[in-house]
Structure 1
Amino acid sequence: MTIWHRPLDLDALTAACAGSMPGFLGMEFVEAGDDWIRARMPVDQRTRQPYGRLHGGASVALAETVASVGAMATVDPTQFAAVGMEINANHLRPVGEGFVYATATCEAKGRTSQVWTIRVTDEAERLVCLARMTAAVIPSVRGGVG
């Protein structure tokens, strides 16, 4: 059974992020299942630290973006917004080039909060970063992406 409020249009989600940080970092939504969503981000001059490795902040930005978009896609955007309330991350493996992929899975979908686990992997599917984000579900002040 799907958790999405309506079917996901991955191209539309990517386009909606084009003018903000996810777009500036090159994030693209690439897959989704019944309770998970996946995006990728290039490891390049925008996302590397000065020492040539993927910046931990870029990994967290990817993780929070994927989980936040996922959380928002579970609610009616005319009535609610889902916003990041807390995120933690463990950085486990360096990456110097290529793409990293973040898969966010909804672990708990409550009336006022949600918990998402995000696995960031490299192109060989090795775990790069493991994150968990809590989203607050709040009344909407305007319609949103989802």
Structure 2
Amino acid sequence: MNSKEVTLNKLNKMCENTLNETLNIKYTDIGDDFLVATMPVDSRVHQPDGILNGGATMALAESVGSPTSMLAVDMDKYSVRGIEFSANHLRSVKSGTVTATARIIHKGKTIHLVEIKVVDDRGRVISLCKLTNYILAK
């Protein structure tokens, strides 16, 4: 198993018995400047009218945005806390899988700004999110 697979397995393991498990969010890819997670779209994450709930989309985005900062700092010395989150929902989804890709667009000593794009199965952006993470010394 390569280091990429080890890291993805660690991330997925750490999310057992959490909201990620409830929503079936899975980390699927990682690179030098990004982290990717997926979530199935089914009745568990629908609004009453049968489309993906914006809150579930935001949970997916937060679930990929915070770990992106965690991977960029020494977690023995620092903690990561989300302090501001915004989302623009651009399109609706009824079924399939949505994929969130997070990238740090500003990496300061105490603040990271993370952009998260959530796309549908056809690669269309359904939500564009920004997460500000505060980096706290332990």
Query: Residues 13-92 of structure 1: matches in 2 within 5 Å?
Result: 13-92=11-90
1:50-96 Cα shifts (integer Å, max 9, x gaps): 11100000010111110001111111111101111101000011100
The structure richer in helix per residue is: 2
Runs (4+) off by over 4 Å: none
Structure 1 length normalisation: TM-score?
Answer: 0.88
Query: Conserved in 2, the CA contact under 8 Å of 1:72 and 1:83?
Result: no
Distance across 2 between alignment mates of 1:99 and 1:76: 32
Query: Conserved in 2, the CA contact under 8 Å of 1:44 and 1:97?
Result: yes
Superposition CA RMSD, Å: 1.3
Unaligned runs of 5+ in 2: none
Distance across 2 between alignment mates of 1:85 and 1:71: 13
2:118 counterpart of 1:120: yes
Which amino acid in structure 1 is aligned with residue 83 of structure 2? Answer: M
Which amino acid in structure 2 is aligned with residue 69 of structure 1? Answer: P
Structure 2 length normalisation: TM-score?
Answer: 0.93
Unaligned runs of 5+ in 1: 1-5, 141-146
Cα distance, 1:9 vs structure 2: 1.1
1:31-56 Cα shifts (integer Å, max 9, x gaps): 11211100000101221111110000
Q: Which secondary structure state, in structure 2, belongs to the residue aligned with residue 73 of structure 1?
A: helix
Which amino acid in structure 1 is aligned with residue 107 of structure 2? Answer: K
The residue aligned with 1:95 is: 93
